[in-house]
Amino acid sequence: MPFKEQSIVMQREELCRLALQPGANLRELARRFGVSPQTVYDWVGRYRVAGRAGLEDRSRRPLSSPSRTSEAVTGEVLSVRAAHPAWGGRKIRKVLEMRGLADPPSASTITDILRRHGLLDGPGSGAQRRWTRFEYDEPNELWQMDFKGHFGLLEGRCHPLTVLDDHSRYALEIGACVDEQTETVRCRLEQVFSRYGLPRRILADNGAPWGSAGAPAPHTRLTVWLMDLGVGVIHGRPYHPQTQGKDERFHRSLKAEVLDGVTFRSPQAAQAAFDAWREVYNSQRPHEGIGMATPSSRYHMSQRAMPKTIAPTDYEPGAQVRSVDQDGHFSFKGRVFGCSRAFQGRRIALRPTDRDGVFDVCYRRHVLGQIDLAQDSAKNVHHVPEHPSTFSPV
């Protein structure tokens, strides 16, 4: 059978132990494990030299990348971005020129650097993106959040809300909620943010109360509140739960280790069980996905503290700022465009892109989408939060 992703090194080691037994048939082992004979020979050779460590995946990155931007220049780009979170590639390139940097990277290269470091919520490859396993390099770069399927109690129902750190797999919250409403989620998140600080981004499912990727009005009061705090919101692809694979896997563990065969009397009883298991999961339970370490050994709290008050929107001088009306519309260049009612009463900024007549529609540091003044006056609204497409005039 083919190798299982989460225990691939353990299976390689088992294969090597079997291959080193007297009289072992390496071709038959290759067939049973679903790999080529040459792969078996390679792994056995690596296992003889380095033991289990030799079976770890090796980086395919070339030893040198002459065309890749140097670490020093990348550091300069990130330094400028940190001081001016709303600036894009063209402005940052100009600053690097003013600092005397010889031959600074192009604006598009700087944009790629920002996207590679998770600093853009703006246009990506959209539907063409290939989804693969990923892990952010540091804690609090991305949290995954979702409700696990609700279940009955002797007194009511329980809707478990889970929040998981992507890098460490640390369980920040397992909440025994009585519903899935905006205020319930916000209250829980306020407690989590107060203890652990703010993440850079949150990956949420599609649907209430977080909104839906690709919907005519994907933003909700909850996601706008998160933007007000400086937290980016991205959504999994509709009907693709593997996008939130770590949280889905966490849900399976929660079901197997806490919920199966148990009936709780009340939300309070369920919460007590969740709290006890969260301590075990974070501090005692080895996790195969992180090399059998515990999540607590890889997690540290965010340095971005939960603010006591939310600062008002403050755009750069000269920004073309518009207010969103109660129906989610705003006017620009003599035309009316649709946004989302979740932004009613708020101020957005429109910033020119590299394409004539195309503007990014921004709320604080978040790119909501784009408008193209050259488009026909169709009335459909195309508004994708994490991969913005073009707004259409109303």
Q: Is the pLDDT of residue 85 over 80?
A: no
What is the separation of C-alpha 28 from the centre of its chain, rounded to a whole number of angstroms?
42
Phi, psi of 217 (to 5 degrees): -135, 80
| β-bridge mates for residue 314, sequence order | none
For residues 282 and 274, the answer to whether their CB atoms sit within 8 Å is no
pTM: 0.61
For residues 188 and 178, the answer to whether their CB atoms sit within 8 Å is no
Residue 17: what residue type?
A: R
Phi, psi of 184 (to 5 degrees): -65, -45
Residues 141-150 have a mean pLDDT of 91
pLDDT of residue 121: 55
pLDDT of residue 62: 54
Q: Is the pLDDT of residue 78 over 80?
A: yes
Q: Is the pLDDT of residue 59 over 70?
A: no
Residue 7: what residue type?
A: S
Q: Percent of the chain beyond pLDDT 90?
A: 31
Per-residue pLDDT band at 367 (split at 50, 70, 90): confident
For residues 76 and 101, the answer to whether their CB atoms sit within 8 Å is yes
HSE-up of 178 (CA within 13 Å, CB side)? 10
Q: Is the pLDDT of residue 384 over 60?
A: no
Interior/surface letters 346-370, b for 16+ CB within 10 angstroms, e for the rest: bbbbbbebeeeeebbbbbbbbbbbb
Cβ within 8 Å of residue 302, ≥6 positions away: 139, 140, 196, 197, 198, 199
What sign does the dihedral 207-210-211-213 (CA atoms) show? negative
Lowest mean pLDDT among 63-67, 138-142, 193-197, 324-328: 63-67
For residues 202 and 180, the answer to whether their CB atoms sit within 8 Å is no
Q: Is the pLDDT of residue 160 over 90?
A: yes
pLDDT of residue 212: 64
Residues 368-374 have a mean pLDDT of 84
pLDDT tens per residue, range 280-304: 889 888 887 888 888 999 999 899 9
Residues 228-253 have a mean pLDDT of 75
Of 118, 167, 116, 162, nearest to 139 by C-alpha is: 167
Distance from C-alpha of 242 to C-alpha of 240, rounded to nearest angstrom:
5
Number of C-beta neighbours around residue 222 at 10 A: 21
Of 329, 334, 331, nearest to 321 by C-alpha is: 331
Per-residue pLDDT band at 264 (split at 50, 70, 90): very high
- 3-state DSSP helix/strand/coil % of the chain, to nearest 5: 35, 20, 45
| β-bridge mates for residue 160, sequence order | 176
Interior/surface letters 114-142, b for 16+ CB within 10 angstroms, e for the rest: bbeebbbbbbeeeeeeeeeeeebeebbbb
DSSP H helices in the chain: 8-19, 26-33, 37-50, 71-83, 89-98, 107-116, 182-196, 221-228, 245-254, 267-283
Residues 274-281 have a mean pLDDT of 91
pLDDT tens per residue, range 28-51: 878 877 888 888 888 888 888 888
Look-up of token digits 């100009």: 94
For residues 385 and 223, the answer to whether their CB atoms sit within 8 Å is yes
HSE-up of 283 (CA within 13 Å, CB side)? 7
Phi, psi of 355 (to 5 degrees): -100, 135
Per-residue pLDDT band at 381 (split at 50, 70, 90): very low
Per-residue pLDDT band at 278 (split at 50, 70, 90): very high
Distance from C-alpha of 30 to C-alpha of 18, rounded to nearest angstrom:
11
Residues 364-369 have a mean pLDDT of 86
Phi, psi of 300 (to 5 degrees): -140, 155
End-to-end CA distance of the chain: 55
pLDDT of residue 131: 39
Asked if residue 209 has a cis previous peptide bond (ω within 30° of 0), the answer is yes
pLDDT of residue 132: 44
Per-residue pLDDT band at 189 (split at 50, 70, 90): very high
Comparison of pLDDT for 55 and 156, the residue scoring more? 156
Residues 54-77 have a mean pLDDT of 68
Number of C-beta neighbours around residue 197 at 10 A: 16
Q: Percent of the chain beyond pLDDT 70?
A: 82
